[in-house]
Amino acid sequence: MPEPFKTFFNPDMIALMGTHLAQASDGFDRERFVRLATDNLDALELKERSRQIRDALQSCLPADFRAACAVLVAALHPEDDVDLSQTCMDKHGIRGWAVMPMTEFVAGNGLDDFDHSMDILKEMTKRFSSEFAVRAFIARDPERAMSIMTEWTEDENYHVRRLASEGSRPRLPWGGNLKGFMADPEPVIRLLERLKDDPSDYVRRSVANSLNDIAKDHPDRVAEIAGIWLAGADGNRRRLVRHACRGLVKQGHKPTLDALGFGKPDVELIRLDIKTPAVEFGGMLEFEIELVSRSAQDQNLILDYVIHHRKANGDTAPKVFKGKTCDLGAGETARVQRRHAIRPITTRVYYAGTHGLEILANGESLARSAFELVMPDGQDKG
């Protein structure tokens, strides 16, 4: 099992971070910094560790904000073209996870020195990511921040271009929500428009994730964008749009399915065979479907399935799972087999009894049947 993210903030990392900061400034008290940053470290989770390192920086850096920033920038690793997600700090300077508390220091102290702070975050993002810290500046002055981030969309460094899209995501995981952009996403959409054909897949995936965020509050607007962007699109942009619309496709959102070329299906489900009508908890639901095209034209189909999970009160709650995408010719028949694991997960409590299986084609229900979930000891399990 991989180590949890929090272990990136460890005593060795903090000690090396302190060494680089001391080399960047004769007045930096390395021993005090290490002592403050590592205090009771094992008891802290990831964000708590980052905040503790930030507070240690606050105690040991110069009181003048710009002077403190000068030390932080001087301690950074030389800029190079690497995958930062797999990068650790080395003898040449600070990069990787150690940059995270540095960006928090800028966000906590630099809101009144707006442009300079944004420049510092731009430098730091080349060695890790400033996507969380930059949101404090968006919240303070959205128009000013987005003007600067629009300039970043043309930066030669792809980490900076990605910061423009990732930092402005309305619902960035771990980053909190930008409620203004959730209500009115047009400033974000204008920025994403500039990045939709970026040469970096890393940037394009960020664009797709931002559109997926927007889709949660403005599904019809994202469907409209999908239709516009797909006109004359190359393979990269088509992949971006499909990834951006994954949530809407899963929901069977009709305007999105139409934009992606998945219209109303003209098919008949001629067989739904549940091969495991009684599934023991921890085992597999196995089923097979057979459907035939009733259309005189070829059809693009998204075949998904829904598990209707039994709840404590006996009602059921649906959860859509991806099946497959296929092209079905006129009059053709397709067979699909699936195995779906029903095992302990942290996000669901399972209850014994009747569950439902439903088959969807392009978001439309073709059939529904039932199966029984059997708990090993007759009790409900989490």
In-domain check, residue 379: no
pLDDT at 136 over 80: yes
Percentage of the chain lying above the pLDDT 90 cut:
87
Q: Does 97 map to a domain?
A: yes
Question: Would you put residue 44 in left (φ > 0), alpha (ψ -120 to 50) or beta?
Answer: beta
Residue 378 has pLDDT above 60, yes or no: no
**What is the pLDDT averaged over residues 49-71?**
98
Among 226, 259, 292, where does a domain finish? 259
Average pLDDT estimate for 22-35:
97
Contact 353, 326 (CB under 8 A): no
Convert 255-269 to b/e letters by CB count within 10 Å (16 or more is b).
bbbebbebeebebee
Q: Which phi and psi (to 5°) does residue 184 adopt?
A: -135, 95
At 346 the pLDDT is: 87
Domain annotation covers residue 381: no
If asked whether residues 242 and 336 sit together in one domain, one would say: no
359 DSSP β-pair partners: 305, 367
Residue 204 and residue 332 in one domain? no
In-domain check, residue 380? no
Q: Would you state the structure tokens that stand for residue 226, as one six-digit string?
A: 């999908």
Do 340 and 271 share a structural domain? yes
**Angle, alpha carbons 295-298-304 (nearest 5°):** 85
Examine the fold and report which residue of 259, 288, 316 is the final residue of a domain before the chain moves on: 259
Structural domain including 280 reads 267-374
Q: Per residue in 36-47, pLDDT tens?
A: 999 999 999 999
Of 115, 129, 214, the residue nearest 164 (C-alpha): 129
Q: DSSP strand E in 52-174: where?
A: 171-172
Residues 271, 134, single domain; the answer is no
Q: Are 34 and 133 part of one and the same domain?
A: yes
- The CATH number of residue 181's host domain is 1.25.40.290
Residue at 191 is within a domain: yes
Chain segment 295-347, per-residue pLDDT in tens: 999 999 999 999 999 999 999 999 999 888 889 999 999 999 999 999 999 88
- Kindly write down the DSSP assignment for every residue of 275-334, as one continuous string: S-SEEETTSEEEEEEEEEE--SS-EEEEEEEEEEEE-TTS-EEEEEEEEEEEEE-TT-EE
pLDDT recorded at residue 6: 87
Q: Among the listed ranges 187-201, 214-228, 249-263, which one has the minimum average pLDDT value?
A: 249-263
CA distances in angstroms from 313 to 345, 352, 370, 372, listed in the order given? 20, 11, 17, 16
Same domain, 153 and 227: yes
Residues 170 and 61 in one domain: yes
Asked if residue 292 and residue 254 are part of one domain, the reply reads no
Considering the domain boundaries, does residue 99 fall inside one?
Answer: yes
Same domain assignment for residues 208 and 240? yes
Please state, in angstroms and rounded to a whole number, the distance separating the CA atoms of residues 182 and 26: 46
Distance CA 236, CA 374 (A): 45
Q: What is the band of 73 on the pLDDT scale with cuts at 50, 70, 90?
A: very high
The CA distance from 123 to 76, in Å, is 9
**Token pair for 346:** 């942290």
Same domain? For 252 and 285 the reply is: no
Same domain, 35 and 156: yes
Q: Tell me, what's the pLDDT at 379?
A: 56
The total of structural domains in the chain comes to: 2
Task: Report residue 269: phi and psi, to 5°.
Answer: -80, 115
pLDDT in tens, 86-105: 667 889 999 999 999 999 99
pLDDT value at residue 1: 46
Instruction: Flag whether 382 is in a domain.
Output: no
* Model pTM score: 0.83
Dihedrals phi, psi of 149, to nearest 5 degrees:
-70, -30
Instruction: Look up the CATH number of the domain holding residue 355.
Output: 2.60.40.10
Residue 4 confidence (pLDDT): 78
pLDDT for 220: 98
Q: Could you report how far apart the first and last alpha carbons of the chain are, in Å?
A: 21
Q: Determine phi and psi for 329, rounding to 5 degrees.
A: -75, 165
Write down the pLDDT at residue 381. 52
**In the listed set 242, 259, 276, which residue is the last one of a domain according to the structure?**
259
Q: What is the mean pLDDT of the chain?
A: 94
My answer on whether 68 and 136 are in the same domain is: yes
